[in-house]
Structure 1
């Protein structure tokens, strides 16, 4: 059971959340987009949120500043989180513009705010679960989209709420976080997304 649950920690690793958000947007939106737009956005997302972070992780591991992609030690989180902040800022200022795709723009704006909150919590010696930040942000995004398109996505919403619980259980079973850290990650993920719903609903 523990091995099965650990799979969810890898499937819903924070680096993949941006890709899932983009796929969900194009799956759920009632707005027309060409295939070229989809592939262009997806390539940008993969480069900025997966390929560059992975390269930086390997570089940090070479320097001994990181031991794994899971960032199990709180002191190892500062540099990766700062890098993530910079990449998300580039994404919302140079790629995903508000006037082009407001739904994704505010999702990534919320992701930037969540990353800043997670970074600030380090200075209180609290290792907020970044996995919970990611999956809870995505769950709010799906709920928001269900309201935005006025289409009943009740099963999809229920699935993502269930996944929030599964990911939390996975992190607990792996002894990567305690309850307080999971709650902190959940709050850091949910609050910015809920606060920004007003601007795109």
Structure 2
């Protein structure tokens, strides 16, 4: 069971959640998007939220500024979170603009706010769970998208709600976070997304 929970932590690593959200949108939307647009946006998201962060992570490892893919030490989070903030800003200003795909724009805008919150928590020595930020954010996005399209995605919503508990259990099992850090992550992920629902629902 512990090994399975560890796998969950990697499969639903925050780096991958952005790609899952994009694929979820294109799979569920009733709006038409040309294949070339779907491909281009997906590739841009992969580059900005996975490939560049991984490259920077390994660069930080060579400098001795990071020792784990999970960034277990709070002091190791500053640079990755700043970099992620910059990359998300580039994404919503240059790629997924509000006039192009408002649903994804507000999702990534919410992700930007959540990342800033996680960075600010560092200054009060609180290591908010980025895993919980990511999984709770995509959960709210899925619920909002279900309401937006007026389509019943009950099973998908239930899956993500359940996944919040599984991811939280996984992080506790790996001793990566305590309950306070998981709650901080959950609130940091859900509240910006809930607040932004007003603008695209």
User: Cα deviations across residues 72-126 of structure 1 (Å, max 9, x unaligned)?
Assistant: 0000000000000000000000000000100000000000000000000000100
Segments of 4+ moved more than 6 angstroms: none
For 2:71, what is the secondary structure of its paired residue?
A: coil
Partners in 1 of 2:198 and 2:6 — Cα distance? 35
Q: How does 1:69-148 map to 2 (within 5 A)?
A: 69-148=69-148
Corresponding residue number in structure 2 for 1:65: 65
TM-score (norm 2): 0.99
Residues in 2 aligned to 1:186 and 1:115: alpha-carbon distance in whole angstroms: 12
**Alignment of 1:43 onto 2:55:** no
Tell me how far apart the structure 2 counterparts of residues 18 and 191 of structure 1 sit (CA, whole Å): 17
3-state SS, counterpart of residue 147 of structure 1: helix
- Offset of 1:68 from its aligned partner? 1.3
Matched, 1:52 2:26: no
1:5-37 Cα distance to aligned partner (Å, 9 max, x none): 111100000000100000000011110011111
Matched residue, 1:21: 21
Structure 1 residue 44, shift from structure 2 partner: 0.2
Shift of 1:163: 0.3
Aligned to 1:162: 162
